């Protein structure tokens, strides 16, 4: 048991390293992804909230000042980038669609762990690299952030990534039947744009939608960790989020396991 | 000798969408689809002994690759049963996967964006090999294949022949007991084909794995195979040794006719195809 866990751990560490090594092969692409894109997103979000407050000619919206919204926008953009996996999801789908999954299926490893470890490895490194942007902006604009809350906010974010990956797994497994399902990823990302709280803080929604959306596990992607970090939310909401993400992981993976099993029976070993 | 691979009435039926040409038919197909069922492999029963090299020969679409895919666990059969090293392949147990390898000549199994050396380190982790021993083995195999100089070049930058050699090293790194080779020399020039053939010949003498080999180049089969399996339209139409097959076929030819192995196979399969 001890030995098999060690083997499993080393193998998955190797997958995580693979993600980093592969991305570093293309330096400019990595720089754009890890630095330029988050800088642009941050700039856009900050401009947007500046414009909203200037246009509304007010100092507060829903009880929070401009600085709170700027801090939310800043960290929101940062956390939203961590919790999206469209790039890996795209590759997972392509792997099944093109048949290159054959190389995974005939080796002692699982498709789920292979992509999960790569996703975690890539997100871990990119998070460290990209973090310099919000830290700089917080310092420049003097925005409210409770730095002592960062570890728990990150813990929730990376826990939420398990759910993100599980959803990608379900979508990718559908490719066994449907082949081209890239549009699913687009539709899902649009929904999550709203449901995670990336577009705007979820507490701006009217009741009862507000309570419902916050109770869903997707709010753990942006709204809860950022709200907690910027002082908008307290720790009780974070614990609730851990619970709702756990429920989400169980449900999505149960569905994924069924879909995967059936998908493999239908699989024709495409392309060889 | 122990039986390593056995199948009983192994069958696979593929279902595919059929659409007559044209825009209107595309619209019709959007609402109502018509499917065709094609038997790729029909009730195939065979046994392969340990250490044998089996040449699997047949025309395109005869069912060779389907058989390989089922025996390696890639494809689940529609009917029948199979055991490889005592395991049902499509259950994909790790103990089974550690003992086999499949090389698909038309598909990359290594990682496109990194060097083969990086891929092998990763494979060593996947197969739980000692990293030091794995490195030595890579060096040894690379020397045998005369490709040491490209081990640290990104895979995507290698020529087809170099890539295939890298794929072969990757497939043999964990010393599989059963090896499935699907057209390992496809698209290669004569020199590269010959190098790979000689390498496989030497490797088999050294490690004695059980191999199922498909190829459209009859030289591969003639040089390497102990046993011949001819497959036509999803049916095994001949099982036996290569010399037996040639002798049998020659006895059926006109007295003054002399044909080579490739020609004998071609004629045999053409006849089988007409019959079925």
The tokens of B62 are what? 């005869």
* A5 CB within 8 Å of a chain B CB: no
- CB nearest B97 (choices: A25, A108, A268): A108
Q: How many CB atoms lie within 10 A of CB A26?
A: 12
Question: Residue A33: pLDDT above 60?
Answer: yes
Which of A111 and B27 is assigned the larger pLDDT?
A111
- CB nearest A7 (choices: B97, B111, B128): B128
| Distance (Å) from the alpha carbon of A92 to chain B's nearest alpha carbon | 14
Q: Check residue A259 and give its pLDDT.
A: 94
- CB nearest A14 (choices: B97, B106, B125): B125
Write down the mean pLDDT value for chain A.
Answer: 89
Contact at CB, B128 and A18, closer than 8 angstroms = no
Across residues A42-54, what is the average pLDDT?
A: 86
| Distance (Å) from the alpha carbon of A198 to chain B's nearest alpha carbon | 32
Q: Is A27:B156 a contact under the CB 8 Å cutoff?
A: no
Question: Residue A35: pLDDT above 60?
Answer: yes
Give the model's confidence band at B274: pLDDT under 50 very low, under 70 low, under 90 confident, else very high.
Answer: low
Chain B residue numbers with beta carbons less than 8 Å from the beta carbon of A179 are: none
- What is the spatial distance between Cα A225 and Cα A157, in angstroms, rounded to a whole number? 7
Contact at CB, A106 and B100, closer than 8 angstroms = yes
**For testing the chain A interface, which of B106, B107, B163, B176 should be mutated: the one with the most A CBs within 10 Å?**
B107
Give the model's confidence band at A204: pLDDT under 50 very low, under 70 low, under 90 confident, else very high.
Answer: confident
| Distance (Å) from the alpha carbon of B270 to chain A's nearest alpha carbon | 24
Chain B residue numbers with beta carbons less than 8 Å from the beta carbon of A271 are: 106-107
Residue B268's DSSP bridge partners are none
Across residues A88-114, what is the average pLDDT?
A: 91
**For testing the chain B interface, which of A7, A176, A268 should be mutated: the one with the most B CBs within 10 Å?**
A268
Q: Check residue B241 and give its pLDDT.
A: 84
What is the tally of structural domains in chain A? 1
Strands B100-104 and B178-182: parallel
Q: Check residue B127 and give its pLDDT.
A: 94
ipTM here = 0.86
Chain B residue numbers with beta carbons less than 8 Å from the beta carbon of A100 are: 107-108
Residue A122's domain spans which residues? 2-269
Across residues B146-160, what is the average pLDDT?
A: 91
- Eight-class DSSP state of B37: E
Contact at CB, B74 and A106, closer than 8 angstroms = yes
Residue pointed to by tokens 């964006």: B113
Give the model's confidence band at A44: pLDDT under 50 very low, under 70 low, under 90 confident, else very high.
Answer: confident
Percent of chain A with pLDDT over 90: 43
Across residues B111-120, what is the average pLDDT?
A: 92
* A7 CB within 8 Å of a chain B CB: yes
- CB nearest B114 (choices: A22, A267, A269): A22
CA dist B192 to B163, B172, B198, B199, Å?
11, 18, 10, 10
Contact at CB, A271 and B106, closer than 8 angstroms = yes
- Residue A35 class from Cβ within 10 Å (0-12 exposed, 13-18 middle, 19+ buried)? middle
Across residues A244-269, what is the average pLDDT?
A: 93
Least Cα distance to A62 among A198, A193, A205, A196 occurs for A205
Least Cα distance to A244 among A199, A203, A214, A201 occurs for A214
Q: Check residue A46 and give its pLDDT.
A: 83
Question: Residue B237: pLDDT above 60?
Answer: yes
* A29 CB within 8 Å of a chain B CB: no
CA dist B9 to A191, B2, B40, B83, B96, Å?
49, 20, 13, 12, 22
| Distance (Å) from the alpha carbon of B69 to chain A's nearest alpha carbon | 7
Q: Check residue A65 and give its pLDDT.
A: 86
* A55 CB within 8 Å of a chain B CB: no
Q: Check residue B261 and give its pLDDT.
A: 66
Q: Check residue A185 and give its pLDDT.
A: 87
């Amino acid at each position: 048991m001890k030995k098999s866990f060690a083997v499993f751990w080393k193998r998955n560490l190797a997958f995580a390293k693979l993600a980093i090594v592969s991305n570093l092969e293309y330096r400019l692409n990595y720089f754009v992804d890890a630095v330029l894109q988050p800088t642009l997103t941050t700039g856009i979000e900050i401009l947007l909230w500046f414009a909203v407050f200037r246009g509304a000619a007010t100092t507060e919206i829903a009880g929070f000042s401009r600085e709170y919204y700027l801090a939310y926008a800043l960290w929101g953009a940062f956390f939203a980038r961590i919790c999206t996996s469209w790039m890996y999801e795209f590759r997972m789908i392509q792997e099944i669609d093109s048949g290159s999954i054959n190389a995974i299926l005939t080796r002692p490893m699982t498709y789920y762990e292979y992509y999960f470890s790569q996703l975690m490895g890539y997100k871990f490194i990119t998070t460290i690299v990209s973090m310099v942007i919000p830290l700089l902006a917080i310092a420049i604009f003097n925005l409210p952030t409770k730095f002592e809350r960062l570890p728990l906010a990150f813990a929730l974010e990376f826990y939420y990534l398990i759910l993100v990956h599980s959803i990608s797994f379900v979508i990718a497994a559908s490719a066994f039947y449907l082949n081209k399902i890239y549009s699913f990823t687009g539709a899902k990302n649009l929904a999550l744009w709203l449901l995670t709280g990336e577009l705007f803080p979820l507490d701006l929604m009217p009741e009862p939608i507000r309570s419902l959306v916050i109770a869903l596990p997707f709010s753990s992607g942006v709204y809860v960790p950022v709200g907690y970090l910027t002082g908008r939310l307290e720790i009780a909401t974070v614990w609730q989020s851990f619970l709702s993400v756990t429920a989400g992981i169980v449900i999505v993976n149960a569905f994924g396991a069924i879909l995967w099993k059936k998908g493999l029976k239908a699989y024709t070993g495409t392309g060889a | 000798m122990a039986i390593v691979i056995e199948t009983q009435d192994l069958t696979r039926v593929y279902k595919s969408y059929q659409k007559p040409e044209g825009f209107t038919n595309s619209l019709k197909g959007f609402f109502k689809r018509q499917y065709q069922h094609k038997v790729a492999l029909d009730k195939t029963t065979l046994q392969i002994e340990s250490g044998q090299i089996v040449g699997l020969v047949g025309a395109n679409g005869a069912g060779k690759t389907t058989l390989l895919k089922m025996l390696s666990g890639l494809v689940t059969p529609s009917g029948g049963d199979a055991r490889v090293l005592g395991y049902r392949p499509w259950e994909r147990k790790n103990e089974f996967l550690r003992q086999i390898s499949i090389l698909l000549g038309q598909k990359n199994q290594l990682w496109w964006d990194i060097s083969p050396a990086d891929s092998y380190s990763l494979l060593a982790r996947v197969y739980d090999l000692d990293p030091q021993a794995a490195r030595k083995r890579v060096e040894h195999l690379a020397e045998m294949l005369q490709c040491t100089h490209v081990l640290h070049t990104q895979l995507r930058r290698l020529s087809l022949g170099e890539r295939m050699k890298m794929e072969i090293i990757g497939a043999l790194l964990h010393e599989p007991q059963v090896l499935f080779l699907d057209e390992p020399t496809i698209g290669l020039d004569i020199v590269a084909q010959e190098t790979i053939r000689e390498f496989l010949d030497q490797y088999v003498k050294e490690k004695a794995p059980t191999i199922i080999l498909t190829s459209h180049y009859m030289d591969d089969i003639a040089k390497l195979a102990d046993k011949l399996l001819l497959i036509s339209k999803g049916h095994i139409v001949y099982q036996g040794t290569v010399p037996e097959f040639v002798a049998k076929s020659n006895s059926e030819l006109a007295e003054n006719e002399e044909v080579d192995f490739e020609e004998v196979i071609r004629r045999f399969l053409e006849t089988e195809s007409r019959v079925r």
